[in-house]
Amino acid sequence: MSLLIRLLQALALLLFVGAATAEHTSNWAVLVSTSRFWFNYRHLANVLSLYRTVKRLGIPDSQIILMLPDDMACNPRNAFPGTVYSNADRAVDLYGDNIEVDYRGYEVTVENFIRLLTDRLDEDVPRSKRLGSDAGSNVLVYMTGHGGDQFLKFQDAEEIGAWDLADAFGQMWEKKRYHELLFMIDTCQANTMYTHFYSPNIVATGSSELDQSSYSHHADNDVGVAVIDRWTYYVLEFLETQVTSANSKLTLGDLFDSYDMSKIHSQPGVRWDLFPGGEQEGRLRTVVDFFGNVQNVEIENANATDPGSLKEDLAEIARLVEKWRKRDEEYSAILGNSSQSQSEGAQSHTVQLSSKKPVGATKMAEAGSWGKRLVGLSVVGACTAVWVAGSILGRSA
């Protein structure tokens, strides 16, 4: 019998965790460009632009995994050596001073990407190459490259399928490697990539539907290549102009509502159904929940209702307060009952008056207090006299 009760308790606990709140304790970002070669300059620029944005909103380099398969900055064809720009105005050098590329060149493979997500890495793999997220982490996964129906090409000869990605996320969930996950992808037929996801707490969005191409936004005629893709460009535009600080209250709903098909030239897609509460709940998540680094303080375990948790404590305190008030009421009720028994038939008002009678008794002692004051005055007077006498005697000596 007790076993059954315990089981039920455990189940209830689990359900409670399942319907978790928006609280998360860390933010991670995995930003992946999957194509190499000079004419794919824009994919690198896409990723670097996003890298800059998440850094601006507070995610530190240690929590960003940046995968760049090619080095456009040092490509001999680059008319501006050492730089990467995502706009023809060349106002911001994305490849500036603070950039930490974690996977570069031929390290960017499907295998490495899946190993990174699922943390199936050797012990000697350095921290910078690991996704250290846990059950409290919100993870942003952004991918860009050349894709097709349910696949995304990696570099020259590899591709990752929609099922591979779904399984990787599934495994991440099982291993408690994310709390909530925002998946973004900019490639041709991008929306097909998230069709097979099955693990919960994922919001997915892509740039184009099945059989649709994703287009580049504009070319820089001095660099000689297209510098950014349309969908990424407009997502960034929203992030740069609207989400100006880490305190922004703009939601994912706002971000997705900003999609304008006439500008993007393809039909972006959003998938909510894996998110608890669906679209209604998902839309309320703020953008900085994923792009920023909002750290909620966790006491032991913020979500749990175990003894000792903050919630438990607060509830306990509330219970105690309630208990004391009740006790107080009970006490006063008991007192009232006793006075009633003393002067029967009297009203509650009189009861209160009668209960103040002991206070009246203390007043009676006021007369005696004058005597005490007199004693005190005489003592002070005597002391003063002694002091005066002493000082006179001392001067004479």
- Options 63, 78, 86, 266; binder of another protein; rule CB under 8 A: 78
- Options 2, 21, 98, 221; binder of another protein; rule CB under 8 A: 221
- Name the residue nearer to another protein (CB basis): 219 or 302: 219
Q: Residues 23-42: x/- map of binding to another protein (CB under 8 A)?
A: --------------xxx---
Best CA proximity match to 288, nearest among 278, 296, 280: 296
DSSP string, 71-121: -STT-TT-SSTT---SSTT--S-TTSS----SEEGGG--HHHHHHHHHT--
- Name the residue nearer to another protein (CB basis): 76 or 126: 76
CB of 40 to another protein, least distance (A): 8
CB of 106 to another protein, least distance (A): 15
Regarding 345 and contact with another protein (CB under 8 A), the answer is no
383 is catalytic: no
CB of 225 to another protein, least distance (A): 6
Regarding 250 and contact with another protein (CB under 8 A), the answer is no
| Interface positions, 36-75, toward another protein (CB under 8 A) | 37-39, 74-75
- Options 148, 224, 253, 336; binder of another protein; rule CB under 8 A: 224
Regarding 89 and contact with another protein (CB under 8 A), the answer is no
74 is catalytic: no
CB of 76 to another protein, least distance (A): 4
- Each as own residue / partner, the long-range contacts of residues 214-220 (CB below 8 Å, 24 or more positions apart, any chain) are 214/186, 214/187, 214/188, 214/190, 214/266, 215/264, 215/265, 215/266, 216/42, 217/42, 218/87, 218/88, 219/88, 220/85, 220/87, 220/88, 220/90
Catalytic residue (one of 24, 179, 188, 217): 188
- Give start and end residues of each alpha helix (H) in the chain: 2-18, 41-56, 110-118, 162-174, 230-241, 252-257, 261-264, 278-282, 288-291, 310-342, 348-355, 357-363, 366-396
Is residue 61 within 8 A of residue 100, CB to CB? The reply is: yes
CB of 20 to another protein, least distance (A): 45
- Name the residue nearer to another protein (CB basis): 39 or 106: 39
Q: How many C-alpha atoms does 382 have within 13 Å on its Cβ side?
A: 6
Residues acting as catalytic residues: 146, 188
Interface ranges with another protein (CB under 8 A): 37-39, 74-79, 81, 219, 221-226
